[in-house]
Amino acid sequence: MSRPLPSSRLLLPREFRLAFVLCVTVLAISGFAQMPIFRRYYIADVPGLAWTDDFYFTSLLHYLAAIAFLVLAGYAAGRYLTARRTGHVLTNSGILRSGLYALLTITGLAHVLGNSSMTSLDSLPAMLVDMGHLASVMLLGLVSLFSALLGRRDWLRHRSS
């Protein structure tokens, strides 16, 4: 007797998924807003979007969203570890996306540590951290888009399937 494929969406509450999407969206917008592209392409001139031109505000917003992201990621990791006992495993898409989120977290923490007053990165390592962070954001966006278009949005599947 075959078991229906359990969805990873059943393991995490709807509110969690909405908070995660909102958090990642805020991280993406505030991260790109720290570059001067919003002023250069006149996006900051659109009524209601002038805040995207304020580096200090977008930096603070990015840090706050990153803290929320770490809390949500910790909760999701805990749920995954408990789901493993019931026979759930990560899908290939889930492995790739979680690896990219881990890379984003590592490069983000390296960036924070490099900007702290206690440590200082030379220009080449700082540039490599920034480029790695930006490249992993773009790659995560592409992987997530392709996963959604191919209908492989679930992060987990049952081990028997």
Extents of the domains making up the chain: 8-158
Distance in angstroms (rounded) separating the CA atoms of residues 110 and 104: 10
What single-letter amino acid sits at 9?
Answer: R
Distance in angstroms (rounded) separating the CA atoms of residues 99 and 107: 12
Determine the pLDDT at residue 94: 85
Determine the pLDDT at residue 10: 64
Determine the pLDDT at residue 121: 79
Residue 99 phi/psi, 5-degree rounding, is: -65, -40
Counting Cα atoms < 13 Å in the Cβ hemisphere of 51 gives 11
Determine the pLDDT at residue 131: 94
Distance in angstroms (rounded) separating the CA atoms of residues 30 and 24: 10
Q: Averaged in consecutive runs of 10 residues, what is the pLDDT profile of the chain (161 residues)?
A: 51 88 95 90 92 93 97 91 81 88 94 82 88 94 89 74 57
Determine the pLDDT at residue 5: 45
